[in-house]
Each structure stands twice: as structure tokens, then as C-alpha cells.
């Protein structure tokens, strides 16, 4: 079957993967209301396309923290990618590099920062969980720096793991032939089998629940890398992130895997953008499956988006070629959306190009 859109990879992944693995990637927290909402909210934003504009040349390039990339579509951190495909994070890194975009490597990757760096050139960010043992954190950050990673994406929405009922039912644990490679030498690379979710037990034992804004400042004392705060959903926290020295903000609800009944990220985006007042770039992850979604996020003020599940599902289906195809399909769809909306560069995408169902019934904006 010819794949013509990103969502089709999920169907193939579900057929190919063991149930425990598919459920781990696919599920959200509790009732999974936010999981559905992350997708559905995009359909409540419509376009106001501008016509008769010369769109023969379209420029999708942008810069993120000073790094030039081919498009505002990047790869979010997703854990344990070798459960999806033997090449795991290696394949994702090569696909991102070939597409001229950024990959974010998860702390809980099944390949280490050094192994991912060895795949060749590319702009890579490192997602960080703060462990109770701060020496572990300092060591990990230093290794990421040495391996040429360019930024730290600090996950701030996980003092405890969300209740993912599929993982509880499946007694989720990392398959025995895999380890959390970044922690292998620290005796933190294995996950015990439990009568619950093995990951929930691991997080309860290792991840620091005392994490607070002062730790964002502490992180800046141990690294010169820019810090993106990942997991912001309110204007208040956007302001605090900037005051704490964040170089950027990622509006994220952790793929709807943490607190259920938080808004879709596309719904929370505008509040965060307004609070940031252009002082730092704001990015979005969660629910992006189409080029039209990318355009909508940029129209609401995002500087770029990150994709998570589409990467692991395409990896499961077709390895590196699958991830390359997902990035290419999103790129092509986004370029087409720009052309049909009358935008030739990212700076031409404005709030006037969309109407959201939460807008006041608006008259045609004054030019």
C-alpha cells in the first residue's frame, strides 16, 4: 500500500509492533481526553487564504537558536526507539540530518549521546530529565556537550509519571535486550518488571520531584548550552521561564501522557506566545500530523513545531526510510499550504491567515 499521509504509518505500526510496545507509544493518560483533543483542536482553526500572490518561489528555511534549518518541522524526543526498530535513534538521527532539521534525543534513548553523534553531522538537541542524583545530571549534560549537542530541552512536566493505564495493564517494561543507553554505566539503564508500569516505578525511584525554577538556574551554572523549557501551558509559567533564563519555550503536554484534561497544545499556544512578547522563541509539540497543522501553529505565533509519535510509528514501519518520508510529506504539505494561503516565506504567515473558533466573530481585519 502506498503511504500518502503521516497518519497511515500508525496503522502499520500497530500491526507490526508487540502490543506492549505499540500501546506504550500510542497511549495517553487516564481517559485520554487530551490525547484526542491534541488532534481535534486543529480542526477548529480554519484558513483565510490570500489569492493572486506570486507563489512560484517558497522559502521554508528558518533559524532555531541561531542554527539554520530547512523547515520549521523538527523531531521531538521520544524514548526507547529501538523498541520500534533495531536501528532506533540512529535511523532517526540520519533522517533528521538528511532533511536538514533538528533531532531531539531523549534522556531515555536506547542509544547513547555518543552513539547518536557517531551517525555523522547534524544539529541535535538533548532532552533532559532531572534525576535525584545531580551528579548523574551534570555528567549527562557534559557528555551531551562533548558529543556536540547544541541545546538542552528540559522536561518540566514530569515530577511524577502520568497514569497511563495501558502500561499498567501490560506491565510495561523495557525489553530485556535493550537498555537506557545514557545510563548504562550508572546502573540506571535497566527497568525492573513490576506489578504496575515498570516506567512509573523507575520514575518514582529516580526522577526528582523537588524540581523547581531554581533548578533551571542551577542548570545554567553547569552548562553554557541554551535551555529550552519543555512542558509550558500557561502565560504565567512562560514569564517565569524567561525570568529564569530560558532561551526558548516548548508548549507541550507531553503528548497527552501526563495530566489529562489539560488543553490541546494548539489551544494553549497563543497565551504562551503573548506572555513571551517575542523575548524568546516559542515552539509547539503535540498532535501535528499535517502540513496544515504546522501552518496553523506558525500563524498562532510558534517559531516551529516538533513531531513525536509520527517518528516512532514510521520508524516501526520502514526504519530510516519511514522517518525520512514523514519529514518529506510534512514538508511538502506545509509548502503547499503556504502556496495556497499566499505566503512565500515564514515571516509572511500571520494571525490574519487563520480564524479560530475561539475568536470573537471577527470582521475582516483592517489592512
Q: Which DSSP category does 49 fall into?
A: -
CA–CA separation, 327 vs 7, rounded Å?
A: 12
CB 189 within 8 A of CB 94: no
Q: Which residue has the cell 535497566?
A: 190
Q: Do 259 and 273 meet the contact criterion of CB atoms below 8 Å apart? A: no
Q: Where is the binding site for FMN, in residues?
A: 77-79, 106, 127, 155, 230, 252, 285-289, 308-309
Distance CA 335, CA 6 (A): 15
Feature table: binding site for glyoxylate = 24, 129, 164, 254, 257
254 part of the active site: yes
For residue 241, give the DSSP letter: H
Say if CB 99 and CB 327 are below 8 A apart: yes
Q: Please provide the DSSP assignment of 58-87 as one string.
A: -B--EEETTEEESSSEEEPP-S-GGGT-TT
CA-based angle 85:86:88, to the nearest 5?
65
Q: Are 268 and 38 in contact (CB under 8 A)?
A: no
Q: Would you give the end-to-end CA distance of the chain in angstroms?
A: 47
Binding residues, by number, are: 24, 77-79, 106, 127, 129, 155, 164, 230, 252, 254, 257, 285-289, 308-309
By the 10 Å C-beta count (0-12 exposed, 13-18 middle, 19+ buried), 148 is classed as: middle
Biggest distance spanned by C-alpha atoms of the chain: 62
Catalytic residue among 82, 124, 254, 331: 254
Q: Which residues are catalytic?
A: 254
Amino acid at each position: 500500500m502506498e503511504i500518502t499521509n503521516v497518519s497511515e504509518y500508525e496503522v502499520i505500526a500497530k500491526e507490526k509492533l508487540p502490543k506492549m510496545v505499540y500501546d506504550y507509544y500510542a497511549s495517553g493518560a487516564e481517559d485520554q481526553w487530551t490525547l484526542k483533543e491534541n488532534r481535534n483542536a486543529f480542526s477548529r482553526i480554519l484558513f483565510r487564504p490570500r489569492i493572486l500572490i506570486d507563489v512560484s518561489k517558497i522559502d521554508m528555511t528558518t533559524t532555531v537558536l541561531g542554527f539554520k534549518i530547512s523547515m520549521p518541522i523538527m523531531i521531538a524526543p521520544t524514548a526507547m526507539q529501538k523498541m520500534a526498530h533495531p536501528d532506533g535513534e540512529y535511523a532517526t538521527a540520519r533522517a533528521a540530518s538528511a532533511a536538514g532539521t533538528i533531532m531531539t534525543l531523549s534522556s531515555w534513548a536506547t542509544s547513547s549521546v555518543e552513539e547518536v553523534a557517531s551517525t555523522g553531522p547534524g544539529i541535535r538537541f538533548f532532552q533532559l530529565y532531572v534525576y535525584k542524583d545531580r551528579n548523574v545530571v551534570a555528567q549527562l549534560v557534559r557528555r551531551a556537550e562533548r558529543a556536540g549537542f547544541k541545546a538542552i530541552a528540559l522536561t518540566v512536566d514530569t515530577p511524577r509519571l502520568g497514569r497511563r493505564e495501558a502500561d499498567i495493564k501490560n506491565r510495561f517494561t523495557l525489553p530485556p535486550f535493550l537498555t537506557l543507553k545514557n545510563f548504562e554505566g550508572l546502573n540506571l539503564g535497566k527497568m525492573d518488571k513490576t506489578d504496575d508500569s515498570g516506567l512509573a516505578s523507575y520514575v518514582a525511584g529516580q526522577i526528582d520531584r523537588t524540581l523547581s525554577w531554581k533548578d533551571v538556574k542551577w542548570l545554567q551554572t553547569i552548562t553554557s548550552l541554551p535551555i529550552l523549557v519543555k512542558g509550558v501551558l500557561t502565560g504565567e509559567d512562560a514569564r517565569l521561564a524567561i525570568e529564569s533564563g530560558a532561551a526558548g519555550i516548548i508548549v507541550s503536554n507531553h503528548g497527552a501522557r501526563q495530566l489529562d484534561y489539560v488543553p490541546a497544545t494548539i489551544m494553549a499556544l497563543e497565551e504562551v506566545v503573548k506572555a513571551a512578547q517575542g523575548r524568546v522563541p516559542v515552539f509547539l509539540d503535540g498532535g501535528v500530523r499535517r502540513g496544515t497543522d504546522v501552518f496553523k501553529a506558525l500563524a498562532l505565533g510558534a517559531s516551529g513545531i516538533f513531531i513525536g509519535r509520527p517518528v516512532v510509528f514510521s520508524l516501526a514501519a520502514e526504519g530510516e526510510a519511514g522517518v525520512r518520508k514523514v519529514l518529506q510529506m510534512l514538508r511538502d504539505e506545509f509548502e503547499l499550504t503556504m502556496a495556497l494561503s499566499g505566503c512565500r516565506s515564514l515571516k509572511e504567515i500571520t494571525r490574519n491567515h487563520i480564524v479560530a473558533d475561539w475568536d470573537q466573530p471577527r470582521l475582516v481585519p483592517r489592512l
